[in-house]
A and B are shown apart, each in its own frame.
Chain A
Amino acid sequence: MYHTGSFIRGRSLVHRLDPRVKLSAALVFSIFILWVKPSLALASGVILLFPVLISDISLRTLVQAIKPLLFLIVLIFMVHVFFSDGSGEAPGGQTFHGLSFSRTGFQEAFWVVWRFLCLMVAAILLTMTTAPSQMIAAVKYFLKPLKKVRVPVDELAVMLLLALKLMPILLTEKERIETAQKSRGYDASRSGWVTRLKSFSHLTSKILTGVFRRADELALAMDARNFRRGERSSLAELKLTSSDYIVMGLLIFFLIIFVALNSHFG
């Protein structure tokens, strides 16, 4: 079963990179894409295609991963089209069912959606090419200094692992309950909104009950395998290789160029 953001095992260069490099690159890229001018955001998005293409992750899989968030993308687009003020534009904007929209609104909506898509692709590429254990090891590495101020870094890392594990469990549980409802004749498309609402609240309570039960069992199973608060070691061994240094060099190079271009055009 495939779920958005699931790790897909592979041997590509992107897969083999140190998770700390990938995580830092994704973070820097995310801040950068929100900060730069539209033309540079477009160029950054195009550059993002390069790691996607060499990652062994097919474009089809990527599109499949984005699909569940399509509704959100459309919503963001519409909000910007209809609610941006269009200041500085000549009067005479169009109206649609009483809502006015302008060329500026369209432009703004396009760039917001573009930036949002770039963020999503970067996040999906990161999670699809990095095993959860590697990701957690990287997060732990970056949070390590916080141990000095008594932040429970190891516990946070385990919580992250469990949160990642919970996503597919929630989806599986939802599918299981929906199948059970369908098998007893419930058809959402033929039901009124009251019935749908009732069914939704039933579904939510069932999912929550199931997840809490699973969480209890899992806590017991973790105890049985000697889980204790405090430091844990890790299967994932973090080691920077020559590819990591090359990629870091390239990233810094692009970052300097883009920052310079951004200030030049600003």
Chain B
Amino acid sequence: MTTRTICALTLAIAASAAFAQAPAQPAAQPAAAAPAAAAPAGDPAKGRAKTQMCEGCHGIPGWRTAFPEVYSVPKLGGQNPNYIVAALKEYRAGERTHPSMRAVASNLSDEDMANVAAYYSQPSMKTASQK
């Protein structure tokens, strides 16, 4: 009887504690989500050192791909870092198919990608001078 009562009371206290905590969770969620949304912790200086493979196309204004289809190579300076990392990972995984980009991305580690993204995502000189 006493053991049962203690058990029941313990359960009741635990349950009420759990329910009491439940409403607090949505408020805590944005704070928890914030670090995931923030820029990957890359090192722009290390990223700069890895751009030899990028600059031949992405460093030249107006440069176009020649194969397999002709279109302008996208501007990357000032781009959102998470997007750059996502794009590189998709090339590495073969989910994006451009042959040159697949070859380049296959030589990059996750850390390299974060570093390259940190370098390219720095605000452009254009934007910085306008501020």
Are A and B physically bound partners?
no
